[in-house]
């Protein structure tokens, strides 16, 4: 019997990519602890991503209105 590969690339292992880029952000002392107290330490990055996205949308909307 002849072997016919289904794909030329090897199967991917592990978690799927999240389409994110790591960025170092320096926060004031105590801020990470405040975030952790609200959402828990395992949700800190998600909280920061959501906060940044929300602020970007607000600033972009303000910029389009000519208020920037």
pLDDT band at 67 (very low <50, low <70, confident <90, very high): low
48 occurs within a structural domain:
yes
What is the residue range of 38's domain?
A: 31-64
**22 belongs to a structural domain:** no
Could you read off the pLDDT of 53-64 as tens digits, one per residue? 999 999 999 999
Count of domains in the chain?
Answer: 1
Asked if the structure places residue 44 within a domain, the reply is: yes
The confidence score (pLDDT) of residue 66 equals 78
Q: pLDDT per residue over 10-34, tens digit each?
A: 666 777 777 888 999 999 999 999 9
Residue 24 forms part of a structural domain: no
Contacts of 62 (CB under 8 A, 6+ apart): 68
Model pTM score? 0.67
In a domain, 56, yes or no: yes
Contact 32, 20 (CB under 8 A): no
First to last CA, the chain: 69
Is the pLDDT reported for residue 37 higher than 70?
yes
């Amino acid at each position: 019997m002849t072997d016919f590969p289904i794909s030329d690339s090897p199967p991917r292992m592990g978690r799927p990519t999240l389409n994110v880029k790591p960025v170092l952000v320096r926060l004031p002392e105590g801020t990470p602890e405040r975030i952790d107290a609200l959402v828990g330490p395992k949700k800190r990055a998600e909280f920061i991503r959501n906060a940044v996205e929300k602020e970007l949308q607000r600033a972009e909307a303000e910029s389009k209105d000519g208020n920037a």
